[in-house]
Amino acid sequence: MPISGTYDASGSDESVSRLVRILACPRCRAPLEFRDRIFCTDANCAYSIRGFPIIAGTPALIDFDRSIICEDQLVAAKGGSDINRAPSFRDRMRALVLGSNAIAARNCERFLAAIREVKPNPRVLIVGGGLEGSGTEALYQAHDLNVVGTDIYAARQVAIIADGHHLPFADGAFEGVWIQAVLEHVLEPGEVVAEIHRVLGANGIVYAETPFMQQVHERAYDFTRFSRSGHRWLFRQFEEIAAGEIGGPGQSLVWSLRYFFRALTKSDRAGTLLALPFFWLRYFDRWADSRYAGDAANAVYFLGRRAEKPLAPYDMIAYYPGPR
């Protein structure tokens, strides 16, 4: 549920008071105190004096000393994103070239079924929820969920501005975590996944979608990629419910063509327009064998349940889902 306006921690709004109860200092995890700014209640923590800002009605609970997000820039931009995220002509053309994500919509239904088994009225954390992800309509429309949206900038669906490396929530606060097209944009994906494990309660469910054969797409905020096996190892603290690929070699080829033309023309827009006549290449993915296609997947997904015992390194060789 999006929360905006003045942050009243006294709890006049039930959804706000429920949220405040699970918040914790992103530096030391002590409870927080709401005044004109938000302060850590542990006197030994730097944020008990420095505090965290409330920007355009949204708390920014980021440990700025350990984040790529700069407090002064965030306040100056009134919580806005450093890069323009409004759908542009280029985005609409890109959607036409690259198609929509039907697999995410199917996986979203599986995610919802799994978290409802953990607990009725489950609480769901969305990491990177500034833009509603492709295929997430069912998540935002469900009336029985407590959805807490986070991102590194303020937006309609963002309740808390947060950095995934140091989540400002108490241990075990959530039954589900949804993280779609985010882990390529963080400096330390392993730290973010450890935080997801920490804020999930027993048997909590995670769903992640992460690019594999995609080119750099958010300029300075794009750091890494994962194969199916690499993604499985990243989520080694979780038991796999389902995993697979989103988009095969055909879709990856369209991406490559777009960046091939982009480099020649030095233009994002021209790259997309010149790749447009090749959009049909992605239709070949429906005939591709998934064992082979996964090695050239455009992106990979993982749906898993929080486990106490991690996978061992030697489990990884048997895990490889491709051809032997």
Residues that bind Zn ion (CB under 5 A): 25, 27-28, 30, 40, 42, 45, 47
Give min distance, CB of 59 to Zn ion, in A: 14
Residue with tokens 């790529």: 68
Query: Least CB distance from residue 163 to Zn ion, whole Å?
Result: 15
User: H or E stretch including 148?
Assistant: strand 146-151
The least distance separating Zn ion from the CB of residue 45, rounded to whole angstroms, comes to 3
Task: Identify each DSSP E strand in the chain by its residue range.
Answer: 32-34, 38-40, 54-55, 58-59, 123-127, 146-151, 160-161, 174-180, 200-211, 238-246, 299-306
Task: Find the shortest distance in angstroms from Cβ 187 to Zn ion.
Answer: 22
> Minimum distance between the CB of residue 42 and Zn ion, rounded to whole angstroms?
5
To the nearest whole angstrom, how small is the minimum distance from the Cβ of residue 55 to Zn ion?
A: 19
Sign of CA dihedral 262, 268, 270, 275: positive
Residue 47 vs 153, nearer CB to Zn ion: 47
Sheet holding 160-161, edge to edge: 160-161, 146-151, 123-127, 174-180, 200-211, 299-306, 238-246
β-pairing, 174-180 with 200-211? parallel
Q: What CA–CA distance (Å, rounded) separates 208 from 244?
A: 11
Q: Which is nearer to Zn ion, 44 or 84 (CB)?
A: 44
42 or 268: CB nearest Zn ion: 42
Rounded CA-CA distance 56/79 in Å is: 7
- What is the rounded distance in angstroms from the CA atom of residue 229 to the CA atom of residue 189? 15
Closer Cβ to Zn ion, 45 or 241, answer by number: 45
8 A C-beta contact, residue 160 and residue 55: no
**Cα gap 163→62, rounded to integer Å:** 6
> Whole-number minimum distance, CB 72 to Zn ion, in Å?
20
CB of 28 to Zn ion, least distance (A): 3
| Residue with Cβ nearer Zn ion (31 or 310) | 31
- Closer Cβ to Zn ion, 5 or 31, answer by number: 31
**From CA 115, how far away is CA 240, in angstroms rounded?**
14
Nearer to Zn ion, 33 or 109 (CB): 33
Alpha-carbon gap, residue 39 to 24, rounded angstroms: 10
CA distance 131 to 133: 6
310: Cα within 13 Å, side-chain hemisphere: 13
The smaller minimum CB distance to Zn ion, of residues 10 and 44, is found at: 44
